[in-house]
Amino acid sequence: MDIYHEGAFYVNGGLYKVAEALQKSIKANGGKTTLGRKVVKIERDNDGWIVHDHRGNRYRASDVVCNAPVQSLKSLLHDEDYQHIHKRAKEKSELPQWGTFSMYFAIDERDLPQKVELFQQVLQSEQGEMTEGNHLFISVSHPDDRFRAPEGKRTITASTHIDLSKWSNKEAYDLQKQVLEKKMVAGIKTIIPSIEKAEHQISGAPKAWERFTSRPNGGVGGFPQTLDHALFNSISHRSGLQGLWLCGDTVFPGAGTIGVSVSGYHVFQSITSHRHTLP
């Protein structure tokens, strides 16, 4: 359910455009969205739930959809409520997620191969290893996408899964960052030989994900897709507490835009008891 069966699809401007479209839809249907708010506590009361943000605001709701990773639940809920969370969610909340290391480039269009594909994967390990820079997913902006780059310029994004335990202290963190930057640039050079001519280069390591997206320890990408975490071993969108629902990359069916969207749709179905009927 989390595989591109018909190829990857380009979104003009990037996935933030999808978020903007969702926000407009919510507003058009009578909802409200608020930026710059970090939830710090979710607690039950007699009428449902109260959500507290870092600015001291309180929001009441009969249903709360939590898209934070399950590792965040223990700090967000009271101990008594957390004890009623489904056993599998509690067990897996003690396990580490994948992490990701990303690199972002801006480059002159003349320094790109003439017919560069917008989406490519690079495998660098003869042993089939798929993390730590051995597998790269690379995307290049469309030449007509003015949301991402001015005319004559292109952006490049490359990412790889990482083991967060290797980033546990500053010395290891700095070393891993240097190693991965060098390894990923080498991988990108196999399809974009002139990548070192890039005008801008920025790296996104675990601390960046932790700071800007509030992910515990910078974990992103859900759990590794092994038999221990897939299908019936994954976490349900039903939390075990009435009115509290889970979605996101740590919940079935898993990470990726398709996976997290499906988990959100499962929540929608359960709250509204709606079932889509195919024609």
Tens of pLDDT along 131-148?
A: 999 999 999 999 999 999
108 bridge partner residues: 153
Q: What pLDDT, on the 0 to 100 scale, is given for residue 278?
A: 44
- Domain boundary among the residues 214, 234, 258 is at 214
CA dist 61 and 102 (Å) reads 36
The domain boundary, picked from 192, 214, 236, lies at 214
Residues 6+ apart with CB under 8 A from 50: 42, 43, 44, 58, 59, 60
Query: Partners of 53 in the beta sheet?
Result: 39
Q: Where are the alpha helices (DSSP H) in 157-250?
A: 170-189, 206-213
pLDDT band at 1 (very low <50, low <70, confident <90, very high): very low
Looking at the fold, whether 131 and 210 belong to one and the same domain comes out as yes
167 lies in the same domain as 127: yes
Same structural domain for residues 86 and 126? Answer: no
Q: Which of 105-114, 200-209, 218-227 has the lowest mean pLDDT?
A: 218-227
User: Phi-psi bin for 142: left (phi > 0), alpha (psi -120 to 50), beta?
Assistant: beta
Residues 210 and 225 in one domain: no
pLDDT band at 171 (very low <50, low <70, confident <90, very high): very high
Q: What is the largest CA-CA distance in the chain?
A: 63
Report, as an integer, the average pLDDT of 269-273.
Answer: 91
Of 214, 229, 263, the one marking the end of a domain is 214
Structural domain of 268? 16-95+221-272
A 10 A CB-CB count for 61 gives 14
Give how many domains the chain has, as a whole number: 2
In terms of domains, do 119 and 205 share one?
A: yes
In a domain, 29, yes or no: yes
In terms of residues, how long is the chain? 279
Output the six-digit token pair for 209.
Answer: 């994900």
**Strand pairing class (64-66; 153-162):** unpaired
pTM of the predicted model as reported, rounded to 2 decimal places: 0.88
Which tokens belong to 155? 């952006």
